[in-house]
Amino acid sequence: MKMTGQTRVIVFTAMALAAVDIAVRLHQAKPAVTVNDGTVIAAQRFVLLDRDGNTRIEMSVDDNNEPGIRLFDRNGQTRAQLDTWQSTPSLILNGPDGSRRVYFGMDGMGGGMLDMMNQDGSDLLTMDATDNTPNLRLHDVNGSTRASFNVDTDGHSNLFMINGNGISQQVSSGTVSLSNIDGQ
């Protein structure tokens, strides 16, 4: 069967439209939210609201695609946060005013740390395990270190008691000595 010029134009147009349709379908962006068989919901951000429409839980990823979860109290303050933002896994607990009171996480170099703060954000207790050396420090209400206990890389226990003038009494491996906080 011989096609006429008009038939060839119609067939060519149909083939061109089919090719455009296939190209568009292959290059469409994935939807922001997908549902697979009713068991999986995928999104970049998920917000759980209470009966009054207030945000109570937010799960999201930051600009570097690192996940985090924040829990809010009835006043809208973030009270707890679990995340890997800034490539550092952490758990943060906040006071009623939203200020950080407890930080449990890592120091960016792979060492674990625990910080407990007062309402003003000053450290009260800090613990860390950096460079294979565990440290425990107790602070006064202004954040100044008043006692420090650590085990050095040689396995020696060190205890420092520091007064308000920066003078410390050190007990290390069974010896007692008085020294300035700078070791002078």
What tens digit of pLDDT does each residue of 37-69 get? 667 778 889 999 999 999 999 999 988 888 999
Domain count, the chain: 2
Q: Are residues 9 and 68 in the same domain?
A: no
Beta carbons within 8 Å of 179's beta carbon, 6+ residues apart: 167, 168, 170
Q: Are residues 43 and 55 in the same domain?
A: yes
Domain enclosing residue 152, as ranges: 32-180
| Interval 150-176 mean pLDDT | 75
Q: Are residues 58 and 131 in the same domain?
A: yes
Q: Are residues 26 and 40 in the same domain?
A: no
Type and span of the H or E element at 180: strand 175-180
Q: Is the pLDDT of residue 133 over 70?
A: yes
Q: Which residue has the higher pLDDT, 135 or 184?
A: 135
Report field, pTM of the whole predicted structure over 0.75: no
Q: Are residues 55 and 73 in the same domain?
A: yes
Q: Give the number of other Cβ atoms within 10 Å of residue 170's Cβ.
A: 17
Per-residue pLDDT tens digits for 64-80:
888 999 999 999 999 99
Q: Are residues 26 and 38 in the same domain?
A: no
